[in-house]
Amino acid sequence: MDIGHRRIVSADAVGDALRSLVKSAKEDLRTASHPVERIVGRFGGFELGIRATRGGEVPNLYLAGNCQYHADPYQTRPALVAALELMGKSHADAVKSQANRRKRLEDLQLELARPFEHEGRLADLLARQRALEKELDLDRDKAGSGRADMEETRRAA
């Protein structure tokens, strides 16, 4: 994690740095006439920001990229680090899932572009079916057979 112009590696050091950012944001809020929001560093390829508003709420850490991921406001160092790690893991999972879906979409598009392997046989069978229907003359007598079925139903009742 980068905070300011320094690189912080260990979880304890990151927790201390985040805790001091939260305290600093609280102090800045006391003298400010409006909410405090600023980018304070980078984490996992995202900009790390902090937002503090009046009303006694704990300042909120967030990661900003194409959208913002807000960490729950915690007071302890390990909880602050865990919240940011969880957001980073969620992002990594989303990127992996998106890559899998893109691959699946490409595979499906290739499958759709391929011709139907039994198309010739299907065309032959459909032509044969039409010829048999014409030979048996099934379409011509539908109305007559329908009336006969109704008469049989009346007699049975």
Q: Tell me, yes or no, whether 121 lies in a domain.
A: no
Q: Tell me, yes or no, whether 71 lies in a domain.
A: yes
Q: Tell me, yes or no, whether 153 lies in a domain.
A: no
Q: Tell me, yes or no, whether 77 lies in a domain.
A: yes
Q: Tell me, yes or no, whether 151 lies in a domain.
A: no
pTM above 0.75, yes or no: no
pLDDT digits (tens, 9 = 90+) for 115-128: 888 999 999 999 99
CA distance 20 to 55: 20
Q: Percent of the chain, pLDDT > 90?
A: 17
Give helix 77-113 / helix 11-31 axis angle, nearest 10°: 110
Q: Tell me, yes or no, whether 28 lies in a domain.
A: yes
Instruction: Answer whether 61's CB lies under 8 Å from 83's CB.
Output: yes
The pLDDT value given to residue 36 = 84
Query: Regarding predicted confidence, which is higher, 156 or 110?
Result: 110
pLDDT digits (tens, 9 = 90+) for 74-103: 656 677 677 767 766 777 788 889 999 999
The pLDDT value given to residue 123 = 93
pLDDT digits (tens, 9 = 90+) for 2-24: 887 788 877 778 778 888 888 88
Domain around 79: 2-110
Query: Regarding predicted confidence, which is higher, 134 or 72?
Result: 134
How far separated are the first and last CA of the chain, in Å rounded?
Answer: 85
Per the structure, the count of domains in the chain is 1
Q: Tell me, yes or no, whether 84 lies in a domain.
A: yes
Residue 69 has pLDDT above 80, yes or no: no
The pLDDT value given to residue 105 = 94
CA distance 136 to 130: 10
Q: Tell me, yes or no, whether 136 lies in a domain.
A: no
- Average pLDDT of span 23-39: 83
